[in-house]
Amino acid sequence: MVGGGAREHTLVWKLAESPKVKEIYAAPGNAGTARLAQNLDIKSEDIGALLKFARDNRVELTVVGPEAPLAAGIVDLFLANRLHIFGASQAATEIESSKVFAKELMQRHGIPCAASASFADFAQAREYVQRQKPPVVIKADGLAAGKGVIIAESIEDAEKALSSMMEGRSFGAAGEKVVIEEYLHGREVSFFVFTDGRTVVPTVPACDYKRIHDGNRGPNTGGMGSFSPPPFFNPALGHIIGQTIMEPTVLALADEGRSYKGVLYGGLMITNHVPKVIEFNARFGDPEAQVVLPRLRTDLVDIMLAVIDGRLEQMNIEWSEEACVGVVMASGGYPGTYRTGFPVSGLEDVDAEVMVFHAGTRVSPEGQIMTAGGRVLTVAATGRDLAEAREKVYRNISRIRFEGCQYRKDIADIK
């Protein structure tokens, strides 16, 4: 397992359920994966060291959680060395790593998305933005850890954002090119599919919460909570998303010689019942994976091997009808500066049916679990409906403590 967040802990937990799995390594993992796997002191971007480890230890299946190693070409490297790996190739990952590529692909193939234009020249970008009606959405082209998107409420703010990205390099090289797009109103949903490049099989939809504070206030984060399924979702909408977005995108990538294998993540806005793409990602979402994977009934190893071998058509993937809610516990100060190294207490007081997925945690030499990152834990539970799952999470989350801990109180609080 490549990665060290709560998404990766969830994947390790799910993989460990498979009778096919004998031993798991996590690189670098966290205190949660350490219970199910052997953590390795290898960073998830160090694809050379990962290759060496996988070869030396005859690893039979490698699963990639985050985007950085995919964008660095880990899948191509492993395949060239005849190793089994679950994830998208470098060329296919451009659907996430270059917003300009993703937009142009959608435009070439008629996939519904926000109207937009791409620019490498500041003067031209400014001229375009001056002709738009606010709000205007400005996106850095490259990977910016979820922070490269600015929603400008006025043309003046839009010009400032362009200037800081393109002239001030506020996102480094990621902002050399920008996409300027129309603001989509509606409900946002994260829609994941498994695909082997031909067959596309949906998972269950989820919603996440990007802002730090209750009521969707404050700065954006990596994600503060999630739930599945969204109450506004129905099978007809899922069908439309498959037919108009996910399947055409997989076919488009195959047509352009970038066959996509793995999990494709559609970040969608449902605008007047019409789904449109906000962005694609080449992996599971975090914290969405923490509420999607607990609903999976089918052996995840079987699914991954079918994806790798191009046999997904033969798989029957089953999901539980239950709802799942996940709430992220973060360090005080996150997503700004925060301190780490505080002991986490109360983990043993959590009800057995409640899942605690670790992100920024480590085990001290004395065996104590310590905070080690911005997002520390995702506490998740399933229930007959969202209300029941939510109640279980919040009843348990207050038993877990660390200095400065913050979490949102309104996750899945749907009126």
Residues that bind ligand GLY (CB under 6 A): 146, 208, 223, 281, 285-286, 288
Residue 176 binding partner per list ligand AMP, ligand GLY, none, with a CB distance cut-off of 5 to 8 Å that depends on partner kind: none
In a 3-state reduction of DSSP, which class is residue 25? strand
Phi, psi dihedrals of residue 98, rounded to the nearest 5°? -130, 110
Question: By CB under 6 A, is residue 300 in contact with ligand AMP?
Answer: no
Angle between helices 90-97 and 247-255 (to 10 degrees): 130
> To the nearest whole angstrom, how small is the minimum distance from the Cβ of residue 365 to ligand AMP?
39
Question: Ramachandran region of residue 38, left (φ > 0), alpha (ψ -120 to 50) or beta?
Answer: beta
The separation between the first and the last C-alpha atoms of the chain, rounded to the nearest angstrom, is 38
In a 3-state reduction of DSSP, which class is residue 203? coil
> To the nearest whole angstrom, how small is the minimum distance from the Cβ of residue 144 to ligand GLY?
11
Residue 230 binding partner per list ligand GLY, ligand AMP, none, with a CB distance cut-off of 5 to 8 Å that depends on partner kind: none
Residue 34 binding partner per list ligand AMP, ligand GLY, none, with a CB distance cut-off of 5 to 8 Å that depends on partner kind: none
> To the nearest whole angstrom, how small is the minimum distance from the Cβ of residue 146 to ligand GLY?
6
Residue closer to ligand AMP by CB (options 137, 323) is: 137
> To the nearest whole angstrom, how small is the minimum distance from the Cβ of residue 279 to ligand AMP?
4
Q: Look up residue 294 and give its two tokens.
A: 């607990």
Count residues binding ligand AMP (CB under 6 A): 13
Q: Look up residue 251 and give its two tokens.
A: 């076919």
Distance CA 267, CA 207 (A): 9
Rg (CA), the chain: 21
Residue closer to ligand GLY by CB (options 68, 305) is: 68
CB 259 within 8 A of CB 197: yes
Residue 196 binding partner per list ligand GLY, ligand AMP, none, with a CB distance cut-off of 5 to 8 Å that depends on partner kind: none
Question: Which residue type does 208 have?
Answer: D
Range in contact with ligand AMP (rule: CB under 6 A) among 16-24, 178-186, 227-235, 349-357: 178-186
- Interaction site with ligand AMP (CB under 6 A): 114, 137, 139, 146, 149, 181, 183-184, 188, 210, 267, 278-279
